[in-house]
Amino acid sequence: MLDTKLIDGKAQAAQLRADVAARAATLKAERGVVPGLCTILVGEDPASQIYVRSKAKASIEAGFASFEEKLPAACSEAELLALIVRLNRDERIDGLLVQLPLPPQIDRQRVIDTIDPTKDVDGFHVENVGGLWSGAPALLPCTPYGCLLLLREAMPKLSGAEAVVIGRSNLVGKPMAALLLRDDCTVTLAHSKSRALPEITRRADVLVVAAGHAELVRGAWLKPGAVVIDVGINRIDVPGGKSRIIGDVAFTEAQGIAAAITPVPGGVGPMTIACLLRNTLLAACARRGLPLPPI
């Protein structure tokens, strides 16, 4: 039986946030630049409201200027695009993101591609996606980049590792695969049509699961000694009329088999916000032609 290590996303995220705050303080002292992060929330989805609030709180804690824009759920796509165009021109704003999901009358990709790519701190704009895959400078998507930072810490020699990613969304799975490829892993990208998924995962030295399917990956699906990153967030009902959040990996079953695993919550989630702050700082420097801080 292996002694499975818990990957502490909270601690690593706190360290990254402290580094970003220190760099932001230097930027302000030496250049008079205060990075600005603006969120746009369309509608009143409760989870989205929480995410937007925590992003604003985190940016203020990092010493950034925080801006919040809200539109009603019934707003038209044209209204949202016009707001983005105005914010693209606003020099106080270095990072601009539209909280997802969006109401059905709005085309998500058209919205994302209207954001100035130099301000696209979510890293979803087609120009940044192209940069990620081609190796050109790009703002990298926060959740997958956060996963990569956790992996680099848990497994210092990623080069040559067999990496399996479950989930092929534009937001998580695909950019995760691209990042692992950049770090010289041999990458398999699996999805809901993949055959014999347990056989695929049992090859993985590194397994990243972003399927949105509670406890999809069982302990027996893991290669002994694998490093497992669980991106999934699934709310399940528990006795007493309450609910709790669990991941895409059967966490208890993974104990004694995986070398290391992220908990849910407390693993990937905190890294996502830390990477958003990092991207905003990098965007603030890049947009002014300043040297990029090595974080």
Residues found near ligand NAP in the complex (CB under 6 A): 143, 166-169, 171-173, 190-194, 197, 210-213, 216, 231-234, 268-269, 272
Residue 29's alpha-carbon distances to 17, 34, 63, 118, 163, in angstroms, are 18, 9, 12, 23, 42
Q: Least distance (Å) from ligand NAP to the CB of residue 142?
A: 8
Give the whole-angstrom CA distance, residue 61 versus residue 39: 16
Element (H, E) at 217: none
How many Å is the maximal CA-CA distance in the chain?
58
Nearer to ligand NAP, 49 or 169 (CB): 169
Comparing CB distances to ligand NAP, the nearer of 123 and 232 is 232
CA geometry: angle 64, 91, 29, nearest 5 deg = 45
User: Which CB, 12 or 87, lies closer to ligand NAP?
Assistant: 12
Q: Looking at the annotation, which residues are catalytic?
A: 55, 99, 122
Q: Whole-number minimum distance, CB 54 to ligand NAP, in Å?
A: 11
How near is the Cβ of 230 to ligand NAP at its closest, in Å? 9
Residue nearer to ligand NAP on the CB measure, 185 or 211: 211
Query: How near is the Cβ of 100 to ligand NAP at its closest, in Å?
Result: 8
Helix 268-287 to helix 46-61 angle (10° resolution) is 60
